[in-house]
Amino acid sequence: MHHEDLSTLPVAILGAGPVGLAAAAHLLERGLAPLILEAGPGVGANLASYRHVRLFSPWRYNVDKAARRLLEAHGWTAPDGEALPTAGELLDGYLAPLAAVPAIAGALRLGVRVGAISRAGIDKVRTRGRETAPFVIRAGGAGGTHDYLAQAVIDATGTWSTPNPLGANGLPALGEELLRERIAYGMPDVLGAARGRYAGKRVLVVGAGHSAAGTLLALAELAEAHPGMRLAWATRGSLMRVFGGGDADGLKARGQLGMRLKALRDAGRLEMHEHFLIHSLALRGGAIEVRGADGTIADIDEIVCAAGARPDLSLTRELRVRHDPWLESTDALAPLIDPNEHSCGTVRPHGHRELAHPERGYYAVGAKSYGRAPNFLLATGYEQVRSVVAALGGDLAQADDVQLDLPQTGVCNTRQAYQAPAPAAGCCAKPAATACCA
Ligand SMILES: Cc1cc2nc3c(=O)[nH]c(=O)nc-3n(C[C@H](O)[C@H](O)[C@H](O)COP(=O)(O)OP(=O)(O)OC[C@H]3O[C@@H](n4cnc5c(N)ncnc54)[C@H](O)[C@@H]3O)c2cc1C
């Protein structure tokens, strides 16, 4: 296939989460054709796994501008900008109507999981003719496996489908796979569908992020109805990061989460295991014993692993990609989001240039663009896809004009976000190149 054929092909969007669907809206505005491949049975499949969770950012940060214009042209009215939706409400009130807009519905393939991306007739090593060859996206579903052709690829597959394991070293803890049916990854609905699984049990929650905190609060509520229930919480570092922010957090709901947990701990309703480095799990008398470098947590019935997630890099094995060595984000983005340096969700505005890979025409956007770094925000992803789509449309002026209106987090630790309490100066005192409050 020759160069002139490329522009007749669609732009493939991998994943119909909030950022993938926003990319589709931006493509349509520029007269480019999207082809959206989604593994789940519906759009927003990851959000659907935690429908019950209330988001910490209000509606006004959660709706993409191009998507809003498209929806409003189809009679949609935006919800109250200051209200905090649950993940389910974001799905039902925004993503589902967006996916139903005919131009998007016609471009959407559900139940299609992408396994690999390459270029037509050209493997990773071959350079000649590379940039004019279409992308080939191999994806499978109930209808079999197909190769889809595209002029460019926007990879918005997120990270939620590939959670980090319990092992402190990033490998599954020894015994973790064997005990899989007693471990839930992510945010199970402990007050709803999963209530029976956790009621009355001794539950260990692992992780220091907002997902762990939210699950612990829900478990504490469940424990009020089941007095025999015991809760334990293990984190690799200290808990300053979760407790931080408070009233100073620009996202009020997120600040309150930390304060409520601190109260729970202070009331003695939480057994805490800070600096606990899990290496193995074993069964002892029918209960799980969790072994760490300096001790054990015994007599556990169920574990909730909320230790973050990682991007699935196997998709791009045949493409020329360049990632940060530890974050697995793009190189350019890494210094802005490294959790060793920052704990905030606020990064400098960035767009197609920071997201570009050596493989021209391939971009990872959304949660996947952050690799293993936490704190990705939807508003960041919406600005990313606005810039990337402008670049794909040849409008470099718009593509380079990146702007971002994000709330300050109030937990801007400069160093050792996992360990140290926030210094009084905050991270805004840092040089501009790495400032997270810029
Ligand atoms: C519990 C939780 C709460 C959050 N709260 C907020 C908040 O309040 N505010 C905020 O701004 N951000 C929040 N975030 C962060 C972030 O905005 C969300 O994770 C958001 O869903 C990221 O959107 P995305 O489109 O990049 O990825 P996702 O929503 O993860 O979507 C990825 C999509 O790709 C599909 N997919 C995955 N692999 C494949 C494949 N191989 N082939 C085809 N399809 C595939 C998935 O099924 C999914 O539909 C939260 C995150 C979590 C986990």
Q: Is the pLDDT of residue 4 over 60?
A: no
User: What is the overall mean pLDDT for the chain?
Assistant: 88
Q: Which of 290-299, 314-323, 394-403, 407-416 has the lowest mean pLDDT?
A: 407-416
Q: Is the CB of 156 under 6 A from ligand 1?
A: yes
**Three-state DSSP state, 362:** strand
User: Atom 2 of ligand 1 has which residue's CA nearest to it?
Assistant: 211
Q: Is the CB of 38 under 6 A from ligand 1?
A: yes
Instruction: Say if residues 147 and 138 touch (Cβ distance below 8 Å).
Output: yes
pTM for the whole structure = 0.90
Q: Is the CB of 411 under 6 A from ligand 1?
A: no
- 162 Cα to the center of ligand 1, angstroms: 11
- 39 Cα to the center of ligand 1, angstroms: 13
For residue 95, what pLDDT band results from cuts at 50, 70 and 90? very high
- Which of 49, 108, 160, 251 has most ligand 1 atoms within 8 Å of its beta carbon, as the pocket-test mutant? 160
d(CA 131, CA 182): 48
pLDDT of residue 433: 32
Sign, CA dihedral 303-306-307-311, equals positive
d(CA 369, CA 159): 9
User: Atom 19 of ligand 1 has which residue's CA nearest to it?
Assistant: 367
Tens of pLDDT, residue by residue over 96-131, are: 999 999 999 999 999 999 999 999 999 999 999 999
Which atom of ligand 1 is closest in space to residue 380's alpha carbon? 11
Sign, CA dihedral 23-32-155-328, equals negative
- 390 Cα to the center of ligand 1, angstroms: 22
Q: Is the CB of 369 under 6 A from ligand 1?
A: no
Tens of pLDDT, residue by residue over 191-215, are: 999 999 999 999 999 998 889 989 9
Q: Quote the CATH superfamily of domain 180-305.
A: FAD/NAD(P)-binding domain (3.50.50.60)
CA distances from 51 to 44, 87, 128 (A): 10, 5, 47
- 16 Cα to the center of ligand 1, angstroms: 9
pLDDT (average), residues 309-321: 98
Q: Is the CB of 157 under 6 A from ligand 1?
A: yes
Tens of pLDDT, residue by residue over 14-65, are: 999 999 999 999 999 999 999 999 999 999 999 999 999 999 899 999 999 9
- 368 Cα to the center of ligand 1, angstroms: 8
Q: Is the pLDDT of residue 277 over 50?
A: yes
d(CA 238, CA 409): 19
Instruction: Say if residues 58 and 83 touch (Cβ distance below 8 Å).
Output: yes
pLDDT of residue 183: 98
- 335 Cα to the center of ligand 1, angstroms: 22
Q: Is the CB of 15 under 6 A from ligand 1?
A: yes
Kindly list the domain boundaries of the chain, sorted by start residue: 3-161+309-400, 180-305
Q: Which two tokens stand for residue 337?
A: 């989001």
| % of the chain at pLDDT higher than 90 | 74
d(CA 3, CA 132): 5
Helices (H) and strands (E) in the chain, counts: 16, 16
Q: What is the CATH number of domain 3-161+309-400?
A: 3.50.50.60
Residue with tokens 């996202």: 251
User: DSSP alpha helices (H): ranges in 1-137?
Assistant: 3-6, 18-29, 45-48, 59-62, 65-72, 87-90, 96-100, 102-105
Tens of pLDDT, residue by residue over 370-405, are: 999 988 999 999 999 999 999 999 999 999 999 877
Sign, CA dihedral 351-355-357-362, equals negative
Are 3-161+309-400 and 180-305 equal in CATH topology? yes
